[in-house]
A = this chain, B = another copy of it.
Amino acid sequence: MQAEPGTFFLDPRLAADTRPIADLPLCRLLLMNDARWPWVILVPRREKLVELFDMTAEDRTRLFEEANAAARALADFTRAEKINIGTLGNMVRQLHVHVVARSTGDPNWHRPNWGFETARPYAPGEADALTARMQDLAV
Protein backbone atom coordinates (compact mmCIF):
# COMPACT_ATOMS: atom_id res chain seq x y z
CA MET A 1 0.00 0.00 0.00
CA GLN A 2 2.82 2.37 0.88
CA ALA A 3 3.86 4.27 -2.23
CA GLU A 4 7.40 3.66 -3.35
CA PRO A 5 9.95 6.41 -2.93
CA GLY A 6 12.02 7.28 -5.95
CA THR A 7 9.35 6.70 -8.56
CA PHE A 8 7.16 9.72 -7.91
CA PHE A 9 7.54 13.09 -9.56
CA LEU A 10 5.17 15.92 -8.79
CA ASP A 11 4.07 17.90 -11.83
CA PRO A 12 5.95 21.23 -11.86
CA ARG A 13 2.77 23.29 -12.07
CA LEU A 14 1.25 21.49 -9.07
CA ALA A 15 4.51 22.02 -7.21
CA ALA A 16 4.54 25.74 -8.05
CA ASP A 17 0.91 26.32 -7.02
CA THR A 18 1.03 24.45 -3.70
CA ARG A 19 2.92 23.77 -0.50
CA PRO A 20 3.47 20.25 0.84
CA ILE A 21 1.50 19.38 3.99
CA ALA A 22 2.20 15.68 4.55
CA ASP A 23 2.68 12.31 2.88
CA LEU A 24 -0.31 10.05 3.58
CA PRO A 25 -0.04 6.28 2.96
CA LEU A 26 -0.83 6.75 -0.75
CA CYS A 27 -1.01 10.45 -1.52
CA ARG A 28 1.05 13.55 -1.14
CA LEU A 29 -1.21 16.09 0.53
CA LEU A 30 -0.69 19.65 -0.72
CA LEU A 31 -2.11 23.01 0.29
CA MET A 32 -3.20 25.13 -2.66
CA ASN A 33 -1.53 28.52 -2.22
CA ASP A 34 -4.77 30.42 -2.70
CA ALA A 35 -6.27 32.08 0.36
CA ARG A 36 -9.65 32.56 -1.34
CA TRP A 37 -10.73 29.05 -0.34
CA PRO A 38 -9.39 26.40 2.07
CA TRP A 39 -8.21 24.01 -0.62
CA VAL A 40 -6.04 20.92 -0.53
CA ILE A 41 -4.90 18.55 -3.26
CA LEU A 42 -4.10 14.84 -3.02
CA VAL A 43 -1.67 13.31 -5.50
CA PRO A 44 -1.19 9.53 -5.46
CA ARG A 45 2.55 8.79 -5.27
CA ARG A 46 2.44 6.50 -8.26
CA GLU A 47 3.91 6.83 -11.73
CA LYS A 48 2.00 7.80 -14.85
CA LEU A 49 -1.54 8.08 -13.51
CA VAL A 50 -3.94 10.23 -15.52
CA GLU A 51 -7.42 8.76 -15.15
CA LEU A 52 -9.06 7.04 -12.18
CA PHE A 53 -9.22 3.86 -14.21
CA ASP A 54 -5.42 3.85 -14.53
CA MET A 55 -5.31 2.87 -10.83
CA THR A 56 -5.81 -0.47 -9.16
CA ALA A 57 -9.12 -0.80 -7.32
CA GLU A 58 -7.19 -0.99 -4.05
CA ASP A 59 -5.37 2.28 -4.74
CA ARG A 60 -8.61 3.93 -5.87
CA THR A 61 -10.30 3.01 -2.61
CA ARG A 62 -7.30 4.28 -0.67
CA LEU A 63 -7.32 7.55 -2.66
CA PHE A 64 -10.96 8.24 -1.84
CA GLU A 65 -10.55 7.25 1.81
CA GLU A 66 -7.70 9.77 2.02
CA ALA A 67 -9.76 12.40 0.16
CA ASN A 68 -12.67 11.66 2.48
CA ALA A 69 -10.49 12.18 5.55
CA ALA A 70 -9.28 15.48 4.10
CA ALA A 71 -12.88 16.51 3.38
CA ARG A 72 -13.99 15.72 6.92
CA ALA A 73 -11.05 17.60 8.45
CA LEU A 74 -11.61 20.63 6.20
CA ALA A 75 -15.32 20.63 7.09
CA ASP A 76 -14.52 20.41 10.83
CA PHE A 77 -11.90 23.13 10.64
CA THR A 78 -13.76 25.60 8.44
CA ARG A 79 -17.45 24.92 9.23
CA ALA A 80 -17.91 25.32 5.48
CA GLU A 81 -21.31 24.93 3.90
CA LYS A 82 -20.18 22.34 1.37
CA ILE A 83 -17.07 20.43 0.51
CA ASN A 84 -16.34 20.21 -3.21
CA ILE A 85 -14.26 17.30 -4.47
CA GLY A 86 -13.06 16.94 -8.02
CA THR A 87 -10.54 15.33 -10.27
CA LEU A 88 -10.39 17.27 -13.53
CA GLY A 89 -6.93 17.27 -15.07
CA ASN A 90 -7.70 19.53 -18.01
CA MET A 91 -4.57 21.59 -17.31
CA VAL A 92 -2.30 19.25 -15.32
CA ARG A 93 -2.63 15.65 -16.48
CA GLN A 94 -1.00 14.01 -13.45
CA LEU A 95 -3.91 12.51 -11.50
CA HIS A 96 -4.82 14.70 -8.56
CA VAL A 97 -7.93 15.22 -6.43
CA HIS A 98 -9.06 18.62 -5.18
CA VAL A 99 -10.84 19.00 -1.84
CA VAL A 100 -12.20 22.51 -1.32
CA ALA A 101 -14.27 24.11 1.45
CA ARG A 102 -17.01 26.32 0.00
CA SER A 103 -19.32 28.77 1.75
CA THR A 104 -22.07 31.18 0.82
CA GLY A 105 -20.54 34.41 -0.42
CA ASP A 106 -17.10 33.01 -1.21
CA PRO A 107 -15.62 33.90 -4.62
CA ASN A 108 -17.78 32.35 -7.34
CA TRP A 109 -20.10 30.69 -4.77
CA HIS A 110 -22.52 28.15 -6.25
CA ARG A 111 -20.14 27.81 -9.18
CA PRO A 112 -16.80 26.00 -9.19
CA ASN A 113 -13.63 27.43 -7.67
CA TRP A 114 -11.54 25.79 -10.39
CA GLY A 115 -10.37 28.20 -13.09
CA PHE A 116 -11.94 31.23 -11.43
CA GLU A 117 -9.86 34.39 -11.75
CA THR A 118 -6.47 34.61 -10.06
CA ALA A 119 -5.09 32.96 -6.93
CA ARG A 120 -4.45 35.14 -3.89
CA PRO A 121 -1.32 33.69 -2.25
CA TYR A 122 -1.37 33.27 1.52
CA ALA A 123 0.33 35.93 3.62
CA PRO A 124 3.11 34.68 5.95
CA GLY A 125 1.53 32.69 8.78
CA GLU A 126 -1.97 32.92 7.33
CA ALA A 127 -2.21 29.21 6.54
CA ASP A 128 -0.42 27.91 9.65
CA ALA A 129 -3.51 26.78 11.59
CA LEU A 130 -5.07 25.08 8.56
CA THR A 131 -1.78 23.39 7.69
CA ALA A 132 -1.32 22.14 11.27
CA ARG A 133 -4.86 20.73 11.30
CA MET A 134 -4.32 18.93 8.00
CA GLN A 135 -0.99 17.50 9.20
CA ASP A 136 -2.98 15.67 11.89
CA LEU A 137 -5.16 13.90 9.35
CA ALA A 138 -6.15 10.44 10.52
CA VAL A 139 -6.31 8.02 7.61
Q: Inside 8 A of A84's CB, which chain B residues have their CB?
A: 86-90
Contact segment of A17-25, A40-48, A57-65, A121-129: A57-65
CA gap between A89 and B67 in the complex, in Å: 16
Instruction: Give chain B residues whose Cβ lies under 8 Å from the Cβ of A64.
Output: 52, 60-61, 64
When C-beta atoms are compared, the residue in chain B nearest to A91 turns out to be: B110
Given known contacts A65-B60, A67-B52, A110 and B86 CB-to-CB distance under 8 angstroms? no
* Shortest CB distance A44–B (Å): 13
Knowing A64-B61, A91-B110 are in contact, say whether A71-B86 is a contact too (CB < 8 A): no
Which secondary structure characterizes the binding site on chain A? mixed
Most buried by B among A53, A65, A72: A53
CA distance A93 to B89 in the complex (A): 24
Interface 1/0s, chain A 71-97, versus B by CB < 8 A?
110010000011111111111010000
Q: A120 contacts the other chain (Cβ, under 8 Å)?
A: no
Bound Cα distance from A61 to B66, whole angstroms? 12
Query: Which residues of B lie under 8 Å from residue A89 when comparing CB positions?
Result: 82, 84
- Please provide the 9 A-B residue pairs with the shortest distance between their CB atoms, ordered closest to farther: A86-B86, A111-B115, A112-B112, A53-B72, A84-B88, A61-B61, A90-B110, A64-B64, A52-B68
